[in-house]
Amino acid sequence: MSKLLPGTRALRTFEAAARHLNFTRAADELGLTPAAVSHQIKEIEDQLDLVLFTRTSRTIRLTEAGAVLLDASVDALDLLNRAVSRARKLTRGTALLKVTLDAQFATKWLMRRVDDFRKQKPGIELRFDITYDVRDFDLDDVDVGIRFGTGRYPGLTSHRLFENIIIPVCSPALLNSGPPLKEPRDLFNHTLAHIEWSRQGVTWPNWRMWMQAAGVEDFDDSRTLVFRTSTDATQAALDGNAVALADFAMVATDLSQGRLVQPFELGIKVAPDFAYFLVYPQAMKDDARVIAFREWLLEEAVKTPT
């Protein structure tokens, strides 16, 4: 009987076609042609002796049998993906720790300290998954993560790292050669950059909020540069193209080494519930690699100026 069941590749094709209800979109997702998707669906139907889709010249719909098979396919593929993730973690042994984190934290904070961890723990090899996507520890081949959020994640243990204080920064060249910056209103003569981020009713500090805190009520934010990531906003400041709002912890090294300067002391704290957190599955709390990385990371976080 097992010989009559579709293989994994066929199930993925069917699941994509059923989810999109469009062979062309399914083909784009899978890297196939629409004809190849249609052919695979026909093979599955012939193999199972079932009609999975009703087709018209313009639309396709799942039949009742197709809906039943879709639910089973989603469960089967999810179970298989989780098993593959666990198998990969077992195969790579106990010396490797895979860390997922975003590019801002990686380039501006962790990578500048990671050599110290390697000296302290030469028996543990760190590898990094640098992405703004939130990874699933059950599905993805990662062990621990650094996430910005509330720290409340079901099934995960989390450790708060440090507060986030947002300050204005610019390059020394801009400060020395551009219009003077004696008081906050002088910023009107400069290009201002920030990011746009909101979640759960909390907004990441922007220039309008900073100006309000500085007592400037007539600020027009329509001419500010809005970036998708903090990395891009900070780079605009490093390049001398703008005064940017940046997370102090992420630019502390640039400030201490003179690549950036802080023209005004005023900083705005991000809502206290939000911060960077080290997170990992509760089942891994006693893992020697996780313990070593956690202890080192928390020690480094305490050293971070805020």
pLDDT digits (tens, 9 = 90+) for 131-175: 988 888 888 889 999 999 888 999 999 999 988 899 999 999 999
Question: How confident is the model over 256-260, as a mean pLDDT?
Answer: 95
Q: Enter the tokens of residue 228.
A: 């998708």
How does residue 177 score in pLDDT terms, banded at 50, 70 and 90?
Answer: confident
pLDDT, residue 91, reads: 65
Predicted pLDDT of residue 257: 93
- Number of neighbours of residue 279 by Cβ within 10 angstroms: 21
Indicate whether 71 pLDDT > 70.
yes
Greater confidence (306 vs 19) lies with: 19
Q: How far apart are CA 239 and CA 305, in angstroms?
A: 24
User: What local confidence, expressed as pLDDT, does residue 5 receive?
Assistant: 72
Q: What is the third-level CATH fold of 92-157+278-303?
A: D-Maltodextrin-Binding Protein; domain 2 (3.40.190)
Domain 2-84 is found in CATH 1.10.1040.10: no
CA distance 133 to 100: 9
DSSP secondary structure letter of residue 263: S
State the Cα–Cα distance between residues 63 and 86, nearest whole angstrom.
Answer: 35
Interval 80-87 mean pLDDT: 75
Provide the pLDDT for residue 93.
62
Distance of CA 258 to the CA centre of its chain: 29
Tell me, what's the pLDDT at 75?
86
Question: What percent of the chain is modeled with pLDDT above 90?
Answer: 65
Average pLDDT over residues 244-263: 95
The ranges of the chain annotated as CATH 1.10.10.10 are 2-84
Q: Where in the chain is the domain with CATH 3.40.190.10?
A: 92-157+278-303, 165-269
Q: For residue 2, what pLDDT is reported?
A: 47
Average pLDDT value for the chain? 90
Tokens of 182: 């004696």
Which pLDDT belongs to residue 84?
76
For residue 306, the model assigns a pLDDT of 65
- Has residue 1 got a pLDDT over 50? no
At 4 the pLDDT is: 65
Query: Residue 51 to residues 8, 43, 71, 85, 295: CA-CA distances in angstroms?
Result: 19, 11, 16, 33, 57
List CB contacts of 58: < 8 A, sequence separation 6 or more. none
Whether the pLDDT of residue 110 is over 70: the answer is yes
Whether pLDDT at 221 is above 80: yes
Q: Which of 4-8, 57-61, 119-123, 214-218 has the lowest mean pLDDT?
A: 4-8
pTM of the model: 0.68
Instruction: Name the least confident of 57-66, 72-81, 182-191.
Output: 72-81
Give 130 or 4, the one with higher predicted confidence: 130
**pLDDT at residue 118 tops 50:** yes
Between these two residues, 5 and 295, which has the higher pLDDT value? 295
- CATH fold of 165-269, please? D-Maltodextrin-Binding Protein; domain 2 (3.40.190)
246 burial via Cβ count (<10 Å: 0-12, 13-18, 19+): buried
8 A C-beta contact, residue 269 and residue 204: no
Higher pLDDT, 82 or 31: 31
Is a pLDDT exceeding 50 seen at residue 210? yes
